[in-house]
Structure 1
Amino acid sequence: MAFVSIGQKYGFVSAGDVFRQRQAEALAEGISKGRKEGLSKGRAEGMKKGMMAKTRSLAKAFRNKGFSLEAIADATGLTIDEIKAL
């Protein structure tokens, strides 16, 4: 048998009904806010990883073309050791 509040039984809104409704709304708002924050952080992290992958790819291509390691490091922001490891 489903829970029926006194207010529902007698046709009025009780303080408990109002409390439960506010709790449900707050929970839904919190879930929505959490999802938005999670998506935002996930996008930012994905963009950062993608940019780093592109930088490493370019550094590797420049290294393979014979550019100096110092010039590649200056242009990409990678260390010489990171470029050597590519």
Structure 2
Amino acid sequence: MAFVSIGQKYGFVSAGDVFRQRQAEALAEGISKGRKEGESRKTRSLAKGFLKKGVSVETIAEVTGLTIDEIKAL
């Protein structure tokens, strides 16, 4: 049987309901930020590898979406 809060049972929003909603929103935001950060790290890691292999900065910028200045800073 699924959990039913007191607020849901009696038709009002309880403090616990608000807390759980905020907690769920914070978790979703954290996951989203983590994914974006991970993608950014992966892109930079690939760009570093391309630089080590001698690929031109312009080509790396075109493929990864990083700016030339960002690539040069690696």
TM category, shorter: 0.7 to 0.9
2 CA distance for matches of 1:58 and 1:49?
14
**Cα displacement (A) at 1:57:** 0.2
- Give the aligned residue type for 1:68: S
Unaligned 5+ residue runs, structure 2? 1-9
Match of 2:15 in 1: 27
Spell out, residue by residue over 1:4-41, the C-alpha distance to the aligned partner (whole angstroms, 9 max, x if none): xxxxxxxxxxxxxxxxxx7xx61000000000000000
Structure 1 stretches of 4+ moved >2 Å: none
Identity %: 49
Q: Relative contact order (alpha carbons < 8 A, sep ≥ 6): 1 or 2 greater?
A: 2
Structure 1 unmatched ranges of 5 or more? 1-21
User: Under a length normalisation based on structure 2, what TM-score does the superposition of the two structures give?
Assistant: 0.82
C-alpha displacement at 1:55, in angstroms?
Answer: 0.1
Matches within 5 A, 1:3-82: 26-82=14-70
CA RMSD of aligned residues (A): 1.1
**AA of the residue aligned to 2:34:** G
- Give aligned pairs, total: 63
Q: Which structure has the larger Rg over C-alpha atoms? A: 1
User: Which structure has the highest helix share of the two?
Assistant: 1
Deviation, structure 1 residue 71? 0.5
